[in-house]
Amino acid sequence: MAEEKGLARARAVYRNRRHRAEELKAAGKKVIGYLCAYPPLEMMTALDIVPFRLLGDINEPISKADSCLPSVVCPFIRSTLDLGLKQRYEFLDGVVMAHSCDVAEKTAHIWNIYLKPDYFHFIDTPHTAGPSAVAQHRGLLAAFGKTLEELAGKKITTRSLKEAIKLHNRQRALVRQLYSFRKPDPPLISGVETLQVMVALMSLPVTEGNELLEEVINEVSRRQDSPPQKKARLLVWGSILDNTSLIEMMEGLDASLVMDDTCVGSRFFWPDVELTEDPLDGLARRYLVDVKCPRTFRQTNDGGKTKDYRADLEARFGYLKEYARDWNVQGVVLQSLRYCDIHGYEVPQVKDYLKGLGLPSIYIEHDYQQTAMAPLKTRIQAFLEILDRG
Partner 1 sequence: MTEKKRPINRLKSMYPLRGLIDGMYRQGLSAAAEGKPVAWCMVNWWQGDPILKAMDVATIYPEDYGAVCAAFGAAQGYLERSAADGFPSHMCGYARNCLGYTGRMMDAGGIPEEAPMGGMPRPTLLLGSGSLCDARYKWFQSLGRYFDAPLWVLELPHPGVKEGLTPGAHETNISFIVAQLGEFVTFLENLLGKKMNRDRLDEITTDTVEMNNWWHKVNELRRARPGPMHSRDFWSSMPASLYMAADPGQTAGLYRRMYDEIKERVDNKVSAINTTEKYRLAFLELPPWHSLGFFDKLAERGWNFVIESWAYHPPRPIDLNGVTDPLERLARYSYHWLTGYYRQAYDAGEWWGYFAYPYLEYVRDYQCDGVVLHPLLSCRTATNHLTLVADRLMKKLKVPSLVIEGDIVDLKLFDPAGALTKAETFEETMDHYKKVRKEAGFSW
Please identify, using beta-carbon distances, which residue of 107 and 244 lies nearer to ligand SF4. 107
Shortest separation between residue 107's beta carbon and ligand SF4, angstroms = 8
Site stretch for partner 1 (CB under 8 A), options 187-195, 246-254, 285-293, 308-316:
308-316
The 288-317 contact track toward ligand SF4, x by CB under 6 A, reads -------x----------------------
From the list 54, 148, 340, 347, which residue makes contact with ligand SF4 (rule: CB under 6 A)?
340
Residue 125 in contact with ligand SF4, rule: CB under 6 A: no
Residues 333-352 that bind partner 1 (CB under 8 A): 336, 338-339, 341-342, 344-349, 351-352
User: Is position 104 an interface residue for ligand SF4 (rule: CB under 6 A)?
Assistant: yes
CA distances from 202 to 148, 264, 280 (A): 19, 8, 22
C-beta of 40: minimal distance to partner 1 in Å?
15
How many Cβ atoms sit within 10 Å of the Cβ of residue 389? 6
In the list 297, 318, 371, 375, the residue contacting partner 1 (rule: CB under 8 A) is: 297
- Toward ligand SF4, which CB reaches closer, 35 or 164? 35
165 touches ligand SF4 by CB under 6 A: no
Establish if 337 lies at the interface with ligand SF4 (CB under 6 A): yes
Binding residue for ligand SF4 (CB under 6 A) from 92, 101, 164, 255? 101
Output the CA torsion 301→303→307→308 (10° steps): -10
3-state helix, strand, coil in the chain (%, to 5): 50, 15, 35
- The verdict on 74 binding ligand SF4 (CB under 6 A) reads yes
Scan residues 178-237 and list those touching partner 1 (CB under 8 A): none
Order of strands, sheet of 49-53, starting from the edge strand that comes earlier in the sequence:
49-53, 30-34, 94-98, 119-123
Beta partners for residue 122, in sequence order: 97
Name the DSSP letter for residue 287.
I
Nearest of 61, 53, 52, 54 to residue 368 by alpha carbon: 61
Q: Which of these, 260, 266, 264, 175, lies nearest to 216 by C-alpha position?
A: 175
User: Quick check: 38 binds ligand SF4 (CB under 6 A)?
Assistant: no
Q: Calculate ∠ Cα 306-309-315, nearest 5°.
A: 110
C-beta of residue 129 within 8 angstroms of C-beta of residue 297: yes
Positive or negative CA dihedral for 167, 54, 260, 215?
positive
197 binds ligand SF4 (CB under 6 A): no
In the chain, what is the straight-line distance between the N-terminal and C-terminal CA atoms, in Å? 45
Which string of DSSP letters, residue by residue, matches 127-144? SB-SHHHHHHHHHHHHHH
Q: Is residue 342 within the footprint of ligand SF4 (CB under 6 A)?
A: yes
> Closest approach of Cβ 37 to ligand SF4, in Å?
9
Name which of 104 and 161 has its Cβ closer to ligand SF4: 104
DSSP 297: B
Taking alpha carbons only, the member of 67, 73, 76, 68 closest to residue 35 is 76
Is the peptide bond preceding residue 186 cis, with omega within 30 degrees of 0?
yes
**For residue 151, how many other CB atoms are within 10 A of its CB?**
18
Select from 44-52, 98-106, 148-156, 208-216 the region that touches ligand SF4 (CB under 6 A): 98-106
x/- contact string, 240-279, with partner 1 (CB under 8 A)? ----------------------------------------
Contact 256, 191 (CB under 8 A): yes
Residues making contact with ligand SF4 (CB under 6 A):
74, 76-77, 101, 103-104, 239-240, 295, 337, 340, 342-343
Residues making contact with partner 1 (CB under 8 A):
66-70, 72-74, 99, 101-103, 105-110, 112-113, 120-122, 124, 126-128, 130, 132-133, 135-136, 139, 143, 294-295, 297, 299, 301, 303-309, 312, 336, 338-339, 341-342, 344-349, 351-352, 363, 365
